[in-house]
Amino acid sequence: MMRSSFFVLLLLLSSVALASEPPPFPDPQRFPMPKDYESNVRFWMKVYGEWEEDKMIIHDARNMDVVFEVVDVPDENEILRTAASVGLRAKVEKIKRILQELHNNPNAKSSSKDHQDIYELYKHIHETNKFRNASENVRIQQGIKERFELGLERMTIYLDEIKKVFRLEGLPEELSYLPLVESSFNNQAVSKTRAAGIWQFMPGTARLYMKVNNDLDERYDPMVATRGAARYLKRSHGMFGSWPLNLMSYNHGQQGVMNAVRTMGTSDFMTIINGYSGRYFGFASRNFYAEFLAACKVMHDSKKYFNDVDYGKPLRRDTIRLAKPLWVTTILNHSSISREELRVHNPALQSSVMYGKRPIPTGYDLHFPAGRYENVPDLITQLRTHEKPGQKKAPTLLAESKTPSTSKASTKSIVAKKTYVVRKGDTLYSISRKFSTSIELLRKINGLNHNNIHPGQRLFVSTR
């Protein structure tokens, strides 16, 4: 009886211990990690959480556990950076040459220590022509640990509202973290292919879900773009019924993934990853789902990778839908809001609207800082009294006339104490959110008459 009771007690204690463990993230039922895909996820976890931006990783694009070398490329000195880049290319060519020599003659492993080291990297890989194949898949990846941390800091500005949108659409909340992969939650991000905003919509795809025209580009509005992304992903789920394939389609396109399924005759994710060789289905498409899983895991365990993430405060806005057009310069000349604040809260407004060549269009949801004005509808009514009937162009008054002076005299009267060194991806807005201050004060205490800042610049961020 005592022996039986002991095992019952042990079973109960084990159950309690298991119950106290947090569930795995992301949900493995919806977002499984195939065993043969684990090396891809491990690689991207290191890119996001271990390798800094001055690290260049030379690796095998197919066998992601194979890392040939991690090379330091200085960022602060252009001459050193150029020299390091030349050396980096030479290292890649040397690795390719050694791989080809090992393919031609396996005994070449004894030619040098480098030959032996590379040979050892492939001992666990049993496939025909592995060295020749590897020589065609040598790739360079930059570490982005600092950028990922900055993405975590920006993330919380929008995350509550993004999760709400996905819940309303009946989609997994884990998808809310996809912008960590796409843009590091930078709503001004623009790719080489003209994808824009935190969700990185291409113009053509975006027009299916939001407005992209001469007045508005709603790809830059995080919440409008989020609703578009949710609708896109919901449609993908209806097409494929598999979240790995759904996320692949976010990078490769719905039609592209459909072509892969038809060509391979299956919806099995790893069969497509390993066997499909369609046009444009390259490294990025094969690894997009791995990047998502890695981003979720590093974010979920951020304390392991980052010392002290300074999460941003949620962005709160008061909103009114315009019944008819309104000029930006009317708002700037007859309210307390500055152009920069208006842009921060209304990032979808095109420059032609922001600088008074065209009015804010009818039907636009105009946003103001939450709580700035007691009654926004009354504010709009009051602003319209300053617009002339039939007005077709903006007033010529200085739009920033109501902002505090940034003269040297006024700057000297402020004693600024706390400083901050600008990092890659920083803007005056992101810094103002981080230190709970305003863009106007940052400009004033630093004697700036513009918003341009650069990495390494030291800014005063507090007057206390």
Give 10-residue mean pLDDT values along the chain (464 residues): 53 53 89 97 98 96 97 79 86 97 95 97 94 97 96 96 97 97 94 94 96 97 98 96 97 96 97 94 97 98 94 95 96 93 95 93 97 96 85 44 36 53 76 75 73 75 64
Q: Do the strands 55-60 and 67-72 form a parallel or antiparallel pair, or are they unpaired? A: antiparallel
**pLDDT of the residue at 422:** 79
**Cα gap 270→73, rounded to integer Å:** 35
The whole-number pLDDT of residue 76 equals 67
Give pLDDT tens digits for 432-448: 777 777 777 787 777 67
Cβ atoms of residues 41 and 297 within 8 Å: yes
Residue 299: what pLDDT? 97
Q: What length is written for the chain?
A: 464
| Upper half-sphere CA count for residue 343 (Cβ side, 13 Å) | 17
The answer to whether 98 and 118 have CB atoms below 8 angstroms apart is yes
> Which token pair is 76?
């602060």
Q: What span, in angstroms and rounded, lies between the C-alpha atoms of 379 and 381?
A: 5
Q: Nearest to residue 295, comparing CAs of 166, 191, 140, 174?
A: 174
DSSP designation for 201: B
Please name the residue ranges forming H helices in 242-301: 243-252, 254-264, 269-275, 283-300
CB count in 10 Å sphere of residue 167:
13
Among candidates 340, 329, 295, which has minimal Cα distance to 431? 340
Give the CB-side neighbour count of residue 132, counting CA atoms within 13 A: 6
| SS3 assignment, position 138 | strand
Phi first, then psi, for residue 292 (nearest 5°) are -65, -50
At residue 71, what is the residue type?
V
Closest of 160, 159, 163, 140 to residue 151, by C-alpha: 159
Q: What is the spatial distance between Cα 44 and Cα 33, in angstroms, rounded to a whole number?
A: 13
Residues in Cβ contact with 62 at an 8 Å cutoff, skipping those fewer than 6 apart = 133, 134, 137
pLDDT of res. 416: 47
Please tell me the predicted confidence (pLDDT) of residue 396.
41
Strand partners, 196: 190, 201
Among 160, 182, 185, residue whose Cα is nearest residue 173:
160
List pLDDT tens digits, range 141-194: 999 999 999 999 999 999 999 999 999 999 999 999 999 999 999 998 999 889
403 token code pair:
């902002």
pTM of the full structure: 0.81
CA 286, 143, 219, 302 torsion-angle sign: positive
301 vs 45: CA distance, rounded Å: 11
